[in-house]
């Protein structure tokens, strides 16, 4: 019920001035968030937040706290387990360095590309009211989307960094985009809308944040969590 109530607040379109400009003029800070678990332990995790400058993608702020995760893992409800810790990290930033608050968040996970159309990127976006984008490494198999031979053929058709194709479910809706994020990576990432951003803008921004396969805000936050 709570998920359905929150989902009603998701905004699937651009709401910010910087989103209207193809070069994202006015965008200065991009955040990345992730919860990384201690190996072999699904209760102790590092809740990490980084803020990078844009377009230079240099680290302006880092926060990593060990947290005890008590909510059980239930498929499709991961956000209830993880989002509270990411919200706390953003609240700490707002108290300590409000001038570094990110203007958009890249989230390691999905947004609308989710069994109920409300993944972790949507959940975090609604709770923080920040523009959010989901970027996943693996395809979530929902609404008829499967990693079949056709999907693999579409991936092979992505010739160079920046190429993409839409992820169209059997219901006819486009749930996200598969993006070849840079030339040397044959594996795509899966981009979906979280909150207060349209899919075209989300894709364009993720592309602009990629030096490697994983966009820099998420790559940096995962490196921090691994340390």
Render pLDDT for 184-221 as a digit per residue (tens, 0 to 9).
Answer: 998 999 999 999 999 999 999 999 999 999 999 999 99
Judged on CB neighbours under 10 Å (0-12, 13-18, 19+), 219 is: buried
Q: Give the span between the Cα atoms of 116 and 165, in whole angstroms.
A: 22
Q: Per-domain residue ranges for the chain?
A: 28-225
Is residue 123 very low, low, confident or very high in pLDDT (cuts 50, 70, 90)?
Answer: very high
Render pLDDT for 68-85 as a digit per residue (tens, 0 to 9).
Answer: 988 777 666 667 788 999
Which residue has 């994983």 as its token pair? 214
**pLDDT at position 227 over 80:** no
Render pLDDT for 97-113 as a digit per residue (tens, 0 to 9).
Answer: 999 999 999 999 999 99
Render pLDDT for 18-63 as a digit per residue (tens, 0 to 9).
Answer: 999 999 999 999 999 999 888 888 889 999 999 999 999 999 999 9
pLDDT at 1: 79
Let me know if domain 28-225 sits in CATH 3.30.2170.10. yes
């Amino acid at each position: 019920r709570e998920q359905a109530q929150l989902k009603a607040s998701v905004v699937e379109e651009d709401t910010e001035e910087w989103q209207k400009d193809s070069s994202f003029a006015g965008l200065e800070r991009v955040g990345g968030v992730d919860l990384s678990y201690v190996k072999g332990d699904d209760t102790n995790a590092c809740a990490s937040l980084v803020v990078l400058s844009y377009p230079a993608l240099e680290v302006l702020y880092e926060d990593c706290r060990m947290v005890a995760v008590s909510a059980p893992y239930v498929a499709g409800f991961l956000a209830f387990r993880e989002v509270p810790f990411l919200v706390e990290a953003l609240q700490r930033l707002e108290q300590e360095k409000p001038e570094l608050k990110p203007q958009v968040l890249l989230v390691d996970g999905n947004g609308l590309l989710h069994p109920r159309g409300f993944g972790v990127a949507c959940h975090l976006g609604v709770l923080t009211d920040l523009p959010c984008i989901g970027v996943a490494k693996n395809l979530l198999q929902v609404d008829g989307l499967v990693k079949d031979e056709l999907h693999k053929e579409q991936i092979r058709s992505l010739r160079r960094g920046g190429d993409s194709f839409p992820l169209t479910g059997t219901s006819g809706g486009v749930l996200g985009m598969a993006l070849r994020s840079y030339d040397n990576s044959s594996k795509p990432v899966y981009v979906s809308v979280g909150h207060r951003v349209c899919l075209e803008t989300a894709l364009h921004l993720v592309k602009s944040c990629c030096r490697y396969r994983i966009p820099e805000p998420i790559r940096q936050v995962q490196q921090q969590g691994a340390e």
